[in-house]
Amino acid sequence: MNTPIDISNVVLTTERLVLRPWRETDLEDLYEYAKVDGVGQMAGWLPHENRTESRAILQMFMSGKKTFAVEYAGKVVGSLGIEAYREENYPELAQLQGREIGYALSKDYWGQGLMTEAVRAVIDWLFGQQGLDFLLIYHFENNARSRRVIEKTGFQFVKTIIYDTQLDTKEPSREYILWNPQKK
C-alpha cells in the first residue's frame, strides 16, 4: 500500500548534497537541466521547451510535497521523487507500507555518484524515519546509468512491466524492490 509522504519540512544532507523541498527560486536551475536533450527521455518525459513548462513542474513539485530538490554546491542539479507505485502491479504488497522512488539528474553531473548518494540518503530516511517496509524503483531497459544507481543501492530485480510514457511510447520497465532490513 502507498504510504502518505510529506517532505515539506525535511532536509537531508550527505557528504556532498542537500536534499530539500523545492522553492520558487529554483526555477532557473530546474529549467537549465530539464531542457537538455537526453535527460527527460531516460525517465519518459520530453525536454522542457520553456520556463513556463518548468514553472508548472516546479509548482507540481512544491504542491505535491513528495519530491526533493537535489542541491550540489548551492545549485539544484536534479530531483528525487517519492512516488506512488502502481498497486495493481503488486497485489502481494497490499498489506505492507511502501513507495516508489524516481529521479532525474543534470547531464553535467552524470557519472559522479551524486544520484547514488542521494538515493541512499532517501532510503535511509524512508526506512529509518518513516518506517516503510519496502521501496520500488524502475528503469527503462535502455537506461544503463539508472540501472547502475539501482544496483549500487541494493535493489533486487522483480519483473519487467511495459510502461506507457509521456512520450506516447511503450517502454519495457525493469522493476526492482528493496526491503527494509529492520523489518525482515
pLDDT tens for 6-43 read 999 999 999 999 999 999 999 999 999 999 988 877 77
pTM of structure: 0.94
Residue 146 to residues 62, 106, 120, 176, Cα–Cα distance (Å): 24, 13, 14, 12
**Residue 45 — very low, low, confident or very high, per pLDDT cuts 50/70/90?**
confident
Q: What is the pLDDT of residues 62-93, one digit of tens each?
A: 999 999 999 999 999 999 999 999 999 999 99
Taking the CB of residue 122, how many other CB atoms lie within 10 A of it? Answer: 25
Helix axes 144-152, 114-128, angle to 10 degrees: 50
Domains of the chain by start residue, with CATH? 12-133 (3.40.630.30)
Closest CA to 136 of 123, 118, 124, 145: 123
Residue 114 has pLDDT above 90, yes or no: yes
